[in-house]
Structure 1
Amino acid sequence: MKEIYHEISLTTICALFGRSRQGWYQLAENKGQKQLQRTLVIEQVRQIKSELPHIGGLKMHSMLQKFLSAHQISMGRDAFFCLLKENNLLVKPRRLYARTTNSFHHFKKWPDLVQRRKAIMAEEIWVSDITYLKTKKVLSILV
């Protein structure tokens, strides 16, 4: 605020926000200290990531507890995850799925004989499904 409004005194600005001048200077001091702590943590994380690139955030947070306490840095799990996210240091999860449906094949496509009608009695409508099981050799199909 003081950088924007040069003509207004710091005392007036602090009174507008219900803060003291001492609080203003403490805020400025803490801002620099927090930035230094964040930089220290990021550098430590990058060092760990160079050795273990696929390590998760929870494991890394537990590994850094001694480092954080030695440097008198208090950072909880959520703040640590936010810091990692801001700096693109989180492990990106891989999407694991099997592509099972191919509707654009040259085989005969059977029509829907049920046509969404309700069954009147037991065992009137029978349906089946295909289950795909992935093995080490090939994708097996069970009918």
Structure 2
Amino acid sequence: MEKDGRNSRKRIRSWYKACSRKKFWYSTSAEIIREYPLSGVGRVCNILGKQRQAYYKAENRTEKSEFKGELVLEEIEKIRQLQPRIGCVKLHHQLQDFLQSHKIKLGEKKLRGLLKKHGLLKPHRRKIAKTTYSGHGFRIYKNLVKDVKVTESEQVWVSDITASRRPM
């Protein structure tokens, strides 16, 4: 840390207030320890009002979750080799046996976040039926009501019969 202990404590506390939510204290303390390696885990935890064992417990928890994430990603790669376009919902359904056998709790939202983090989310396909096809070769009629001024209801009726479903 800096020579002046008060300055560094103020800086660390302001840093902690910026990330004062309960789950972010570990990442904040880890960042402080990386930036000030001589400060020591115990001193940083003391300033942040946490115990040293809580820091190491959180460190162990993040390592475990990263390891579990890697296991899940390997299984996803195996599934995607057989079904490359499989989406998140079906992928989560197929992973259930694997997750239970490895005692991993992973919901659909967490899986989606994991896939997004590693760039494995598949883009959504367009599900709207394409109904208009202008290159059909049939006669195209003039618009007879283009210049008509409508003054009352049901004066002009218009229909379109090109809404037949065609293959995508």
TM-score, normalisation: structure 2: 0.63
Instruction: Give the Cα–Cα distance (whole angstroms) in 1 for the partners of residues 104 and 75 of structure 2.
Output: 13
Q: Is the 8 A contact 2:131 2:166 kept in 1?
A: no
| 1:3 counterpart SS class | helix
* Residue deviations 1:82-112 (CA, integer Å, cap 9, x gap): 112222333322224426386xxxx775462
**Alpha-carbon spacing, 1:85–1:9, altered in 2? closer, same or farther (3 Å):** closer
| Structure-2 residue corresponding to 1:11 | 42
RMSD of aligned residue pairs (Cα, Å): 2.5
Code of the aligned partner of 1:112:
K
Which sections of structure 2, spanning at least 5 residues, go unmatched?
Answer: 1-31, 135-139
Higher relative contact order (CA 8 A, sep 6+): 2
Name the counterpart of 1:100.
132
Query: Could you say which residue in structure 2 is the equivalent of 1:128?
Result: 158
Matched, 1:30 2:64: no
Whether the 8 Å CA contact 2:129–2:165 is kept in 1: the answer is no
- Secondary structure at the counterpart of residue 131 of structure 1: coil
Identify the residue that residue 68 of structure 1 maps to in structure 2. 99
CA contact (8 A) 2:131 2:165 kept: no
Instruction: Name the structure 2 match of 1:56.
Output: 87
Aligned residues: 128
Where do 5+ consecutive residues of structure 1 fail to align? 137-143
SS in 1 for 2:157: coil
Identity of aligned residues (%): 26
Q: Give TM-score scaled by structure 1 length.
A: 0.73
Judging by fraction of residues, say which structure has more strand: 1
Q: Contact 2:45 / 2:51 at 8 angstroms: preserved in 1?
A: yes
Q: Where do 4+ consecutive residues of structure 1 move more than 3 Å?
A: 107-111
Query: Which structure shows the higher helix fraction?
Result: 2
User: Which residue is 1:113 aligned to?
Assistant: 147
2:114 is matched with: 83
Q: 1:73, CA displacement in angstroms?
A: 1.2
Residue-by-residue CA offset, 1:21-76 (whole Å, 9 max, x unaligned): 00111111122111111010001011011012222322221221121122121111
